[in-house]
Structure 1
Amino acid sequence: MTDPARAAVEDPWPAPRAHRPVEATVTLPGSKSLTNRALVLAAVADGPSVVRRALRSRDTSLMAAALTSLGAHVDTTGEDWRVTPGALAGDTSVDCGLAGTVMRFVPPVAGLSTGTVSFDGDPHMRKRPVGQVLGALRALGIDVAGDALPFAVRGTGSVPGGTVVVDASASSQFISALLLAGARYERGVDVRHEGAPVPSLPHIDMTVAMLREHGVGVDDTGPDRWSVAPGPVRAVNHLIEPDLSNAAPFLALAAVSGGTVTVRDWPRHTTQAGDALRDILAAMGCDVSLDDAGLTVAGPDELHGVDLDLHDVGELAPAVAALCALATTPSHLRGIAHIRGHETDRLAALATELGRLGADVTEHPDGLELRPAPLHGGVFRTYADHRMAHAGVVVGAAVDGVLVEDVATTGKTFPDFAGFWAGLLA
């Protein structure tokens, strides 16, 4: 993790304070996780398809550019993105930026190409784990040079495939990456996990569900094993759900202001991890209801602390930790050692930045303990991590004088987040 005492912040953003209960209805951009999976599957499908209401953000734009560079054509000019598969040929390069899905999901597709595909990304990205995916690709018959960014995949036009063992305890994306392209391999792919429990299992469930929508046979009946049968990937149009994890700061705004926020078009059934916000916020004292209008959260008179295992929904930890720092009773967030390998070491970053604002927080190997303490203003550093920025603005809504560094990093999944957020508190 970058040293928090690094160079002076150039652009700290004054996080708006909620001086009264916020009453708002919010329409969120589409899910990054669903958009990028849909784009990958469309690029290896047997015909053209449309990704409707695709999220337009840095991560999804990088994915579209990566797949286009490999030979597919991704038309992003409209709200609905049109994908036409093409011959995966020629040498090219892929910019991963800070997108874990690009760094992990695209190399298995690159193995089907007939050229050398070079991968690199932002400086922070070079610290994120990808070695398990690259080692698995070698075992499946793909020539890979390197074990971390930058690396290169040398395709020969086909991949033998078969059985491979990975340790996905650092990221569920290791599994999803191999499954998404696996049907196009000669023998398919049989992925077996060996190691500590896989985090964020809902994301693998999402991958499996989308593969089945494309007519791909997937066997996930055994523990820690996912098998994809070889065969065509049927072209399917997808309608992208709202990004439920991006709902976290907006629903938290209702919680900290004592107001009421509705997120429109919340699905009644979903594989998104963000759906866990319903139970989490209810446990903290909020009134939570889901109907045809969407998901509505009404904030309580005071927030209760919680004892939660967030292993399967670690991406929610920053916003939840911010709420716990504002709660009137202690909290313990557990099971999230794996978020140390996200955009930054989120546990260390949260402990440092919340502590900088006065929070009584203890960092543990797999989580955080937070106890009630008066908070004060100051700079909240984000480490180029959009979820850290979400935590900062949530605290800033309840505490005067919070300055969020590099709030523009939220563009990873939510363009103009700062302007939208400020409008809600105007």
Structure 2
Amino acid sequence: MTPLADPWPAPRPSAPVERVVSLPGSKSLTNRALVLAALADAPSVVRRPLRSRDTLLMAAGLSAMGVGVVDEGDDWRVTPAALTSDAEVDCGLAGTVMRFVPPVAGLSSGTIAFDGDPHMRQRPVGEVLSALAGLGVDIDDGGRGSLPFVVRGAGSVRGGTVVIDASASSQFISALLLAGARYDTGVDVRHDGKPVPSLPHIEMTVAMLRARGVEVDDSDPNRWAVAPGPITATDEAIEPDLSNAAPFVALAATTGGAITIRDWPRSTTQPGDELRDVLTRMGCDVALDDAGLTVRGSGALHGVDLDLHDIGELTPAIAALCALADSPSHLRGVGHIRHHETDRLAALATELGNLGADVTEHPDGLSIRPASLRGGVFRTYADHRMAHAGVIIGSAVEGVLVEDIATTSKTFPDFAGAWLDLTGTDLAGQ
């Protein structure tokens, strides 16, 4: 593959884009399916998984502890095993690896060392580690509540009730629930703090557990109880990643074209499904049928007032569209995305502002007013969602240069190639 230019010239199509797009699988579903398959009562297959940096790190981390994860055509066959080996787990920039694997490591009889990219040492994981310590797991994090840390497993975890503050990430709760059925007494997770962000991701976790025969009680607000018992081996076909659809459906809006995303599920727990409502509010025509999800741009984008608390990962793409809208927008409820791959609110305010956008940063969101945008370098801070925002702006504004477009490989291998193909741009020089 030809090395990508850096910064990368984001293509601006000269005509409305009308295409059908097939997306890679969901990262959220793939990594949850891998963890559950590793803890199941027999081998199973994860069908059509996403193969990206985050999911390859998850597969490698589980393999390092002794789980069999092998290629079977386009699928992964996962074979549970006694977790007896000492291991090192590279979390990269994957929050799911850093948070979901330690509860599994507690079931090991080995010593499991965790570390990742430098920025990951700033991302929160202390609530998960403290909870595991409260359940009887030996954790050595030097009192930092962050990477690097070591989990010294005893072959089993006592389990019980834990109270955590999950207001920084719903992954804190999902991490404990995914492994909880394998704990001696299960796990009863209670949240005490500001509202939990991205609740659909917890609902995704609960649905996947129930599909494998695990009893989960979520009848009380801010409480999730997993009963002890087996996790039934279940082959799972991974849905397309609906959050990764954001820049593609945005292209319909910015060019006045029509984009169809194939295999869009009629029913899903993925928060990316909310794109249908967001784009409708912004003036697009949105239709879901047997062909998939089709978004048609109207030639104009309208501002919106949205609480994105449950769909924070979509904020960069939506903010980019708002910067191109013909009326003001206010995006709120997403203070927690300051702790994602980067401080996404500060990064969006800075980078959109550098291209001429009129943006006010708030503690929990952004206000964006219509302004004339110009070309320039759009920095991504090693954050794939920031790169999505950059290419969306570039599809409507000449001369946008996206720094480190390769960071999109975190959840979408060869995103740049797919984007160039979609926009009808020659690969030469890109």
Is 1:69 paired with 2:64?
yes
The amino acid that maps onto 2:84 is: A
CA distance in 2, matches of 1:425, 1:247: 15
CA distance in 2, matches of 1:67, 1:323: 38
Partner of 2:42: 47
Is 1:142 paired with 2:149?
no
Aligned-residue offset at 1:406: 0.4
CA distance in 2, matches of 1:279, 1:158: 45
- Of the three residues 298, 301, 308, the one matched with 1:300 is 298
Partner of 2:428: none
CA distance in 2, matches of 1:72, 1:234: 16
- Of the three residues 208, 219, 222, the one matched with 2:220 is 222
- Of the three residues 417, 421, 424, the one matched with 2:422 is 424
Partner of 1:386: 384
CA distance in 2, matches of 1:56, 1:79: 9
User: Root-mean-square deviation (CA), in Å?
Assistant: 0.9
Partner of 1:102: 97
The amino acid that maps onto 2:181 is: A
Runs (5+) with no aligned partner, structure 1: 1-9
Partner of 1:162: 160
CA distance in 2, matches of 1:220, 1:110: 25
Is 1:23 paired with 2:18?
yes
Partner of 2:191: 193
Aligned-residue offset at 1:405: 0.4
CA distance in 1, matches of 2:243, 2:6: 26
Is 1:87 paired with 2:85?
no
Residue by residue over 1:175-209, the C-alpha shift from the partner in whole angstroms, topping out at 9 and shown as x without a partner, is: 00000000000000000000000000000000000
CA distance in 1, matches of 2:26, 2:282: 25
CA distance in 2, matches of 1:204, 1:195: 16
The amino acid that maps onto 1:75 is: V
Report 1:256-335 matches (<5 A): 256-335=254-333
Overall identity of the aligned pairs, in %: 75
CA distance in 1, matches of 2:298, 2:171: 36
The amino acid that maps onto 1:79 is: D
The amino acid that maps onto 2:403 is: E
CA distance in 1, matches of 2:269, 2:388: 22
Which segment is superposed worse, 133-142 or 71-80?
71-80
CA distance in 2, matches of 1:57, 1:80: 13
Aligned-residue offset at 1:90: 1.9
Match of 1:88, SS state, is coil
Report the CA distance shift for 1:328/1:14 in structure 2 as closer, same or farther (over 3 A): same
Match of 2:163, SS state, is strand
Partner of 2:181: 183
Partner of 1:5: none
CA distance in 2, matches of 1:355, 1:66: 39
CA distance in 1, matches of 2:303, 2:42: 51
Is 1:121 paired with 2:141?
no
Q: Which consecutive aligned stretches of 4+ in structure 1 deviate over 4 angstroms post-superposition? A: none
Partner of 1:173: 171
Aligned-residue offset at 1:77: 5.4
Match of 2:252, SS state, is helix
The amino acid that maps onto 1:392 is: G
Report 1:367-382 matches (<5 A): 367-382=365-380
Residue by residue over 1:87-137, the C-alpha shift from the partner in whole angstroms, topping out at 9 and shown as x without a partner, is: 101211000000000000000000000011000000111111100000000
CA distance in 2, matches of 1:103, 1:190: 21
Partner of 2:241: 243
Match of 1:203, SS state, is helix
The amino acid that maps onto 2:33 is: A
Aligned-residue offset at 1:76: 3.1
Runs (5+) with no aligned partner, structure 2: 425-430
CA distance in 2, matches of 1:370, 1:103: 34
Match of 1:76, SS state, is strand
- Of the three residues 379, 394, 397, the one matched with 1:396 is 394
Match of 1:226, SS state, is strand
Which segment is superposed worse, 94-103 or 84-93?
84-93
Is 1:132 paired with 2:130?
no
The amino acid that maps onto 1:90 is: S
The amino acid that maps onto 1:413 is: T
Match of 2:104, SS state, is helix
Match of 1:45, SS state, is coil
The amino acid that maps onto 2:372 is: P
CA distance in 2, matches of 1:154, 1:80: 31
Q: Paired residues, what number?
A: 418
CA distance in 2, matches of 1:286, 1:301: 9
Residue by residue over 1:295-350, the C-alpha shift from the partner in whole angstroms, topping out at 9 and shown as x without a partner, is: 00000121000000000000000000000000000000000000000000000000
Aligned-residue offset at 1:78: 2.5
Aligned-residue offset at 1:83: 0.2
CA distance in 1, matches of 2:363, 2:349: 12
